[in-house]
Amino acid sequence: MGFNCGIVGLPNVGKSTLFNALTEAAQAEAANYPFCTIEPNVGRVPVPDHRLDELARLANSERVIPTQLEFVDIAGLVKGASRGEGLGNQFLANIREVDAVLHLLRCFEGETTHVEGTVDPIRDAETIDTELLLADLESVEKQIATVKKKARGGDSEAKARLALLEKLNAALSEGTAVRNVALTEEEKPILKQLHLITSKPVLYVSNVDEDSVATGNSLSAKVQERADQEGAGHVVISAGIEAEVAALSDPEEKQAFLDDLGLQESGLARVIKAGYRLLGLLTFFTAGPKETRAWTVRRGANAPEAAGVIHSDMQRGFIRAETISYEDYVAYGGEAAVKEAGKMRIEGRDYTVQDGDVMHVRFNV
Protein backbone atom coordinates (compact mmCIF):
# COMPACT_ATOMS: atom_id res chain seq x y z
CA MET A 1 0.00 0.00 0.00
CA GLY A 2 1.70 3.21 -1.17
CA PHE A 3 0.98 6.76 -0.06
CA ASN A 4 2.60 9.76 -1.69
CA CYS A 5 2.76 13.54 -1.45
CA GLY A 6 3.58 15.71 -4.43
CA ILE A 7 5.77 18.77 -3.79
CA VAL A 8 4.46 21.62 -5.95
CA GLY A 9 5.16 25.32 -6.33
CA LEU A 10 6.46 27.95 -8.71
CA PRO A 11 9.99 27.58 -10.10
CA ASN A 12 12.84 28.51 -7.75
CA VAL A 13 10.96 28.28 -4.44
CA GLY A 14 13.17 25.45 -3.15
CA LYS A 15 11.27 22.30 -4.20
CA SER A 16 14.27 20.32 -5.38
CA THR A 17 16.37 21.47 -2.43
CA LEU A 18 13.63 20.26 -0.09
CA PHE A 19 13.31 16.98 -1.99
CA ASN A 20 17.07 16.40 -1.89
CA ALA A 21 17.06 17.00 1.85
CA LEU A 22 14.04 14.74 2.36
CA THR A 23 15.69 11.84 0.60
CA GLU A 24 19.20 12.71 1.88
CA ALA A 25 20.48 12.28 -1.65
CA ALA A 26 20.97 14.45 -4.71
CA GLN A 27 18.19 12.73 -6.64
CA ALA A 28 16.86 16.00 -8.00
CA GLU A 29 18.88 18.74 -9.60
CA ALA A 30 18.66 21.97 -7.61
CA ALA A 31 19.50 24.84 -9.95
CA ASN A 32 18.79 28.53 -10.17
CA TYR A 33 16.63 28.49 -13.29
CA PRO A 34 13.04 27.47 -14.12
CA PHE A 35 12.21 23.93 -15.27
CA CYS A 36 15.42 22.32 -13.96
CA THR A 37 13.27 19.35 -12.93
CA ILE A 38 11.86 17.86 -16.11
CA GLU A 39 10.66 14.49 -14.80
CA PRO A 40 9.10 13.99 -11.39
CA ASN A 41 11.59 12.56 -8.91
CA VAL A 42 10.34 10.04 -6.40
CA GLY A 43 11.85 9.27 -3.00
CA ARG A 44 10.70 7.13 -0.08
CA VAL A 45 11.53 8.48 3.36
CA PRO A 46 11.15 6.95 6.84
CA VAL A 47 8.46 8.45 9.08
CA PRO A 48 10.15 9.55 12.35
CA ASP A 49 8.60 7.71 15.32
CA HIS A 50 10.31 7.46 18.71
CA ARG A 51 8.01 4.57 19.63
CA LEU A 52 9.72 2.25 17.17
CA ASP A 53 13.10 2.29 18.90
CA GLU A 54 11.51 1.87 22.32
CA LEU A 55 9.54 -1.18 21.19
CA ALA A 56 12.64 -2.64 19.54
CA ARG A 57 14.63 -2.21 22.75
CA LEU A 58 11.99 -3.97 24.83
CA ALA A 59 11.59 -6.77 22.27
CA ASN A 60 15.38 -7.17 21.83
CA SER A 61 14.88 -6.98 18.07
CA GLU A 62 17.68 -7.67 15.61
CA ARG A 63 16.25 -5.22 13.07
CA VAL A 64 14.19 -2.03 13.19
CA ILE A 65 12.12 -1.11 10.13
CA PRO A 66 10.23 2.21 10.04
CA THR A 67 7.16 2.90 7.96
CA GLN A 68 7.72 5.09 4.91
CA LEU A 69 6.10 7.87 2.95
CA GLU A 70 6.73 8.68 -0.70
CA PHE A 71 7.51 12.19 -1.90
CA VAL A 72 7.31 13.26 -5.54
CA ASP A 73 9.23 16.35 -6.66
CA ILE A 74 7.10 17.86 -9.41
CA ALA A 75 8.65 20.53 -11.63
CA GLY A 76 7.60 24.14 -11.12
CA LEU A 77 4.28 25.38 -12.45
CA VAL A 78 3.90 28.82 -13.99
CA LYS A 79 0.97 31.08 -14.80
CA GLY A 80 -0.80 29.58 -17.79
CA ALA A 81 0.18 25.98 -16.95
CA SER A 82 -3.44 24.87 -17.39
CA ARG A 83 -3.19 26.07 -21.01
CA GLY A 84 0.12 24.25 -21.50
CA GLU A 85 2.48 27.16 -20.67
CA GLY A 86 5.94 26.03 -19.60
CA LEU A 87 5.62 22.28 -19.25
CA GLY A 88 2.18 22.65 -17.74
CA ASN A 89 0.26 19.71 -19.15
CA GLN A 90 2.94 17.22 -18.16
CA PHE A 91 3.25 18.63 -14.64
CA LEU A 92 -0.50 18.73 -14.08
CA ALA A 93 -0.73 15.08 -15.13
CA ASN A 94 1.92 14.20 -12.55
CA ILE A 95 0.03 16.01 -9.78
CA ARG A 96 -3.12 14.01 -10.57
CA GLU A 97 -1.28 10.83 -9.59
CA VAL A 98 -0.37 11.82 -6.00
CA ASP A 99 -2.51 11.38 -2.87
CA ALA A 100 -1.84 14.79 -1.31
CA VAL A 101 -0.20 18.10 -2.23
CA LEU A 102 2.64 19.80 -0.37
CA HIS A 103 2.52 23.39 -1.59
CA LEU A 104 5.97 24.94 -1.08
CA LEU A 105 5.98 28.74 -0.91
CA ARG A 106 9.00 31.02 -0.95
CA CYS A 107 9.08 33.24 2.12
CA PHE A 108 12.60 34.61 1.86
CA GLU A 109 14.40 37.29 -0.12
CA GLY A 110 17.70 36.47 -1.81
CA GLU A 111 19.75 36.29 -4.97
CA THR A 112 17.86 33.34 -6.43
CA THR A 113 15.67 34.60 -9.26
CA HIS A 114 11.93 34.49 -8.60
CA VAL A 115 9.91 33.76 -11.71
CA GLU A 116 7.57 36.71 -10.92
CA GLY A 117 10.41 39.09 -10.03
CA THR A 118 9.27 39.70 -6.43
CA VAL A 119 8.59 37.53 -3.38
CA ASP A 120 4.91 37.22 -2.42
CA PRO A 121 3.81 33.79 -1.15
CA ILE A 122 0.09 34.57 -1.19
CA ARG A 123 0.25 35.68 -4.83
CA ASP A 124 2.22 32.52 -5.61
CA ALA A 125 -0.35 30.34 -3.81
CA GLU A 126 -3.17 31.99 -5.74
CA THR A 127 -1.30 31.48 -9.04
CA ILE A 128 -0.92 27.76 -8.39
CA ASP A 129 -4.49 27.42 -7.08
CA THR A 130 -5.88 29.16 -10.16
CA GLU A 131 -4.00 26.86 -12.53
CA LEU A 132 -5.13 23.75 -10.66
CA LEU A 133 -8.74 24.98 -10.57
CA LEU A 134 -8.68 25.71 -14.31
CA ALA A 135 -7.19 22.29 -15.02
CA ASP A 136 -9.94 20.61 -12.98
CA LEU A 137 -12.62 22.75 -14.63
CA GLU A 138 -11.42 21.65 -18.07
CA SER A 139 -11.37 18.02 -16.96
CA VAL A 140 -14.88 18.22 -15.49
CA GLU A 141 -16.29 19.87 -18.62
CA LYS A 142 -14.82 17.13 -20.80
CA GLN A 143 -16.19 14.41 -18.54
CA ILE A 144 -19.66 16.03 -18.58
CA ALA A 145 -19.67 15.95 -22.37
CA THR A 146 -18.66 12.28 -22.32
CA VAL A 147 -21.11 11.07 -19.68
CA LYS A 148 -24.19 12.99 -20.88
CA LYS A 149 -25.03 10.51 -23.64
CA LYS A 150 -25.00 7.54 -21.24
CA ALA A 151 -27.10 9.45 -18.70
CA ARG A 152 -29.72 10.27 -21.35
CA GLY A 153 -29.84 6.58 -22.21
CA GLY A 154 -31.00 5.78 -18.69
CA ASP A 155 -27.71 4.50 -17.24
CA SER A 156 -28.13 5.01 -13.46
CA GLU A 157 -24.37 5.16 -12.77
CA ALA A 158 -23.93 7.73 -15.52
CA LYS A 159 -26.80 9.81 -14.08
CA ALA A 160 -25.15 9.86 -10.63
CA ARG A 161 -21.78 10.77 -12.11
CA LEU A 162 -23.31 13.54 -14.24
CA ALA A 163 -25.09 15.04 -11.25
CA LEU A 164 -21.83 15.19 -9.31
CA LEU A 165 -19.87 16.56 -12.26
CA GLU A 166 -22.39 19.37 -12.74
CA LYS A 167 -22.24 20.16 -9.03
CA LEU A 168 -18.42 20.34 -9.17
CA ASN A 169 -18.51 22.36 -12.38
CA ALA A 170 -20.58 25.04 -10.65
CA ALA A 171 -18.22 25.13 -7.66
CA LEU A 172 -15.03 25.27 -9.75
CA SER A 173 -16.52 28.02 -11.92
CA GLU A 174 -16.93 30.09 -8.75
CA GLY A 175 -13.30 29.44 -7.71
CA THR A 176 -14.04 26.78 -5.07
CA ALA A 177 -11.63 23.83 -4.80
CA VAL A 178 -13.27 20.41 -4.97
CA ARG A 179 -12.00 19.51 -1.47
CA ASN A 180 -14.16 22.34 -0.10
CA VAL A 181 -17.38 21.08 -1.73
CA ALA A 182 -19.81 19.31 0.63
CA LEU A 183 -20.48 15.79 -0.66
CA THR A 184 -22.97 13.09 0.23
CA GLU A 185 -21.77 9.61 1.19
CA GLU A 186 -22.96 8.39 -2.21
CA GLU A 187 -20.91 11.04 -4.04
CA LYS A 188 -17.60 10.35 -2.28
CA PRO A 189 -16.74 7.09 -4.06
CA ILE A 190 -17.69 8.65 -7.42
CA LEU A 191 -15.33 11.56 -6.75
CA LYS A 192 -12.37 9.20 -6.35
CA GLN A 193 -12.90 8.05 -9.93
CA LEU A 194 -12.69 11.59 -11.33
CA HIS A 195 -8.97 12.18 -10.54
CA LEU A 196 -9.36 15.88 -9.78
CA ILE A 197 -6.34 17.77 -8.48
CA THR A 198 -8.17 20.17 -6.15
CA SER A 199 -9.88 17.27 -4.39
CA LYS A 200 -6.55 16.40 -2.74
CA PRO A 201 -5.67 17.61 0.80
CA VAL A 202 -3.07 20.39 0.97
CA LEU A 203 -0.15 21.16 3.28
CA TYR A 204 1.43 24.60 2.92
CA VAL A 205 5.18 24.64 3.57
CA SER A 206 6.77 28.07 4.08
CA ASN A 207 10.42 28.12 3.04
CA VAL A 208 12.09 30.85 5.13
CA ASP A 209 15.64 32.13 5.67
CA GLU A 210 17.89 30.75 8.40
CA ASP A 211 17.21 33.60 10.84
CA SER A 212 13.45 32.93 10.69
CA VAL A 213 13.46 29.15 10.91
CA ALA A 214 12.60 28.95 14.63
CA THR A 215 9.86 31.59 14.71
CA GLY A 216 8.82 32.21 11.11
CA ASN A 217 8.57 35.70 9.59
CA SER A 218 5.95 38.13 8.34
CA LEU A 219 5.60 36.25 5.05
CA SER A 220 5.12 32.83 6.66
CA ALA A 221 2.60 34.42 9.05
CA LYS A 222 0.47 35.33 6.01
CA VAL A 223 0.68 31.73 4.81
CA GLN A 224 -0.39 30.51 8.26
CA GLU A 225 -3.41 32.80 8.10
CA ARG A 226 -4.34 31.44 4.67
CA ALA A 227 -3.94 27.84 5.87
CA ASP A 228 -6.14 28.53 8.90
CA GLN A 229 -8.86 30.01 6.69
CA GLU A 230 -8.81 26.93 4.45
CA GLY A 231 -8.44 24.37 7.21
CA ALA A 232 -5.15 23.27 5.62
CA GLY A 233 -1.90 22.30 7.33
CA HIS A 234 1.16 24.54 7.57
CA VAL A 235 4.83 23.94 8.40
CA VAL A 236 7.71 26.45 8.47
CA ILE A 237 11.12 25.23 7.30
CA SER A 238 14.35 26.46 5.76
CA ALA A 239 15.13 24.10 2.87
CA GLY A 240 18.76 25.24 2.84
CA ILE A 241 19.22 24.42 6.52
CA GLU A 242 17.45 21.09 6.08
CA ALA A 243 19.92 20.20 3.35
CA GLU A 244 22.77 20.92 5.79
CA VAL A 245 21.14 18.83 8.52
CA ALA A 246 20.53 15.94 6.12
CA ALA A 247 24.22 15.95 5.17
CA LEU A 248 25.25 15.25 8.80
CA SER A 249 25.54 11.53 9.50
CA ASP A 250 26.07 11.67 13.28
CA PRO A 251 22.70 11.93 15.15
CA GLU A 252 24.30 13.82 18.04
CA GLU A 253 25.87 16.28 15.62
CA LYS A 254 22.48 16.77 13.95
CA GLN A 255 20.78 17.44 17.27
CA ALA A 256 23.49 19.90 18.33
CA PHE A 257 23.03 21.75 15.03
CA LEU A 258 19.26 21.92 15.61
CA ASP A 259 19.73 23.03 19.24
CA ASP A 260 21.87 25.94 18.06
CA LEU A 261 18.97 27.03 15.85
CA GLY A 262 16.45 26.69 18.68
CA LEU A 263 14.70 23.69 17.09
CA GLN A 264 13.54 20.51 18.84
CA GLU A 265 13.37 18.51 15.61
CA SER A 266 14.17 19.10 11.99
CA GLY A 267 11.71 20.79 9.69
CA LEU A 268 11.82 17.69 7.52
CA ALA A 269 10.59 15.55 10.42
CA ARG A 270 7.68 17.97 10.84
CA VAL A 271 6.94 17.93 7.10
CA ILE A 272 6.95 14.12 7.03
CA LYS A 273 4.71 13.86 10.09
CA ALA A 274 2.37 16.53 8.73
CA GLY A 275 2.20 14.71 5.38
CA TYR A 276 1.37 11.50 7.23
CA ARG A 277 -1.47 13.25 9.10
CA LEU A 278 -2.61 14.95 5.90
CA LEU A 279 -3.18 11.56 4.29
CA GLY A 280 -5.21 10.36 7.27
CA LEU A 281 -2.77 7.61 8.17
CA LEU A 282 -1.85 5.88 11.41
CA THR A 283 0.94 3.55 12.49
CA PHE A 284 0.66 0.13 14.05
CA PHE A 285 3.55 -2.16 14.97
CA THR A 286 4.73 -5.72 14.98
CA ALA A 287 7.46 -6.50 17.52
CA GLY A 288 9.60 -9.57 18.18
CA PRO A 289 13.18 -10.85 18.46
CA LYS A 290 13.75 -10.85 14.69
CA GLU A 291 12.40 -7.37 13.99
CA THR A 292 10.26 -4.52 15.19
CA ARG A 293 8.43 -2.89 12.32
CA ALA A 294 6.09 0.04 11.78
CA TRP A 295 3.21 -0.34 9.33
CA THR A 296 0.97 2.25 7.68
CA VAL A 297 -2.79 2.00 7.35
CA ARG A 298 -5.57 4.51 6.80
CA ARG A 299 -7.43 5.71 9.86
CA GLY A 300 -10.63 3.73 10.32
CA ALA A 301 -9.17 0.50 8.94
CA ASN A 302 -10.31 -2.73 10.59
CA ALA A 303 -8.03 -5.51 11.83
CA PRO A 304 -8.18 -7.65 8.62
CA GLU A 305 -7.31 -4.59 6.52
CA ALA A 306 -4.29 -3.91 8.73
CA ALA A 307 -3.32 -7.57 8.45
CA GLY A 308 -3.49 -7.21 4.67
CA VAL A 309 -0.85 -4.46 4.81
CA ILE A 310 1.54 -7.03 6.25
CA HIS A 311 0.56 -9.77 3.78
CA SER A 312 -2.50 -10.47 1.65
CA ASP A 313 -2.71 -14.03 3.03
CA MET A 314 -3.14 -12.60 6.53
CA GLN A 315 -6.21 -10.64 5.42
CA ARG A 316 -7.64 -13.55 3.47
CA GLY A 317 -7.24 -16.03 6.33
CA PHE A 318 -7.64 -13.62 9.26
CA ILE A 319 -8.69 -15.25 12.55
CA ARG A 320 -7.85 -12.70 15.24
CA ALA A 321 -5.36 -10.00 16.22
CA GLU A 322 -3.59 -10.26 19.58
CA THR A 323 -3.29 -6.57 20.39
CA ILE A 324 -1.37 -4.49 22.94
CA SER A 325 -1.43 -0.71 23.16
CA TYR A 326 1.95 0.98 22.88
CA GLU A 327 1.44 2.54 26.32
CA ASP A 328 0.84 -0.87 27.96
CA TYR A 329 3.75 -2.46 26.10
CA VAL A 330 6.12 0.17 27.49
CA ALA A 331 4.54 0.45 30.95
CA TYR A 332 4.80 -3.31 31.56
CA GLY A 333 8.16 -3.71 29.87
CA GLY A 334 7.32 -6.02 26.99
CA GLU A 335 4.89 -8.61 25.63
CA ALA A 336 5.38 -11.31 28.28
CA ALA A 337 4.68 -8.93 31.18
CA VAL A 338 1.64 -7.50 29.37
CA LYS A 339 0.19 -10.99 28.94
CA GLU A 340 0.85 -11.80 32.59
CA ALA A 341 -0.99 -8.63 33.62
CA GLY A 342 -3.96 -9.55 31.43
CA LYS A 343 -3.57 -6.45 29.26
CA MET A 344 -3.33 -8.22 25.88
CA ARG A 345 -6.60 -7.96 23.95
CA ILE A 346 -8.02 -10.46 21.47
CA GLU A 347 -9.58 -8.43 18.67
CA GLY A 348 -11.80 -9.74 15.86
CA ARG A 349 -12.68 -8.73 12.33
CA ASP A 350 -14.69 -5.64 13.32
CA TYR A 351 -11.96 -4.08 15.45
CA THR A 352 -10.86 -0.59 14.31
CA VAL A 353 -7.08 -0.35 14.51
CA GLN A 354 -5.75 2.40 16.77
CA ASP A 355 -2.55 4.38 16.35
CA GLY A 356 0.22 2.67 18.32
CA ASP A 357 -1.33 -0.81 18.44
CA VAL A 358 1.22 -3.62 18.67
CA MET A 359 -0.37 -6.54 16.85
CA HIS A 360 0.25 -10.23 16.32
CA VAL A 361 -2.08 -11.57 13.63
CA ARG A 362 -3.34 -15.13 13.73
CA PHE A 363 -4.47 -16.45 10.34
CA ASN A 364 -5.03 -19.62 8.38
CA VAL A 365 -5.06 -20.12 4.61
Report pLDDT for 31: 44
Q: What pLDDT does 321 receive? A: 97
CA nearest neighbour of 109 among 220, 24, 192, 214: 220
Q: Furthest-apart CA pair in the chain: how many Å?
A: 68
Using one digit for the tens of pLDDT, what is the confidence trace for 325-361? 999 999 999 999 999 999 999 999 999 999 999 999 9
pLDDT of residue 335: 96
Mean predicted confidence (pLDDT) in 75-88: 56
pLDDT in the model for residue 1: 47
Per-residue confidence (pLDDT) for residue 365, from 0 to 100:
86
Asked which of 41-55, 215-229, 290-304 is least confident by mean pLDDT, the reply is 41-55
More confident residue, 117 or 10: 10
Does residue 279 register a pLDDT over 70?
Answer: yes
Angle made by CA atoms 311, 313, 318, in degrees to the nearest 5 = 105
Average model confidence (pLDDT) for the chain? 87
pLDDT band at 242 (very low <50, low <70, confident <90, very high): confident
CA distance 137 to 82: 10
> What average pLDDT does the segment 112-131 reach?
82
SS3 347: strand
pLDDT at 203: 94
CA–CA dist 60, 340 (Å, integer): 19
**pLDDT at residue 91 in the model:** 64
- What pLDDT score was predicted for residue 236? 94
pLDDT recorded at residue 247: 81
Continuous segment of H or E residues that includes residue 69? strand 68-73
Percent pLDDT > 70 in the chain is 88
pLDDT value, residue 36: 42
Work out the average pLDDT over 194-207: 93
Residue 313: pLDDT band with limits 50, 70, 90: very high
pLDDT band at 204 (very low <50, low <70, confident <90, very high): very high
**Whole-structure pTM value:** 0.81
pLDDT band at 76 (very low <50, low <70, confident <90, very high): low
Buried b (16+ CB within 10 A) or exposed e, 96-121: bebbbbbbbbbbbeeebebbbeebbb
- What does the pLDDT read at residue 114? 62
pLDDT of residue 33: 40
pLDDT higher than 60, residue 310: yes
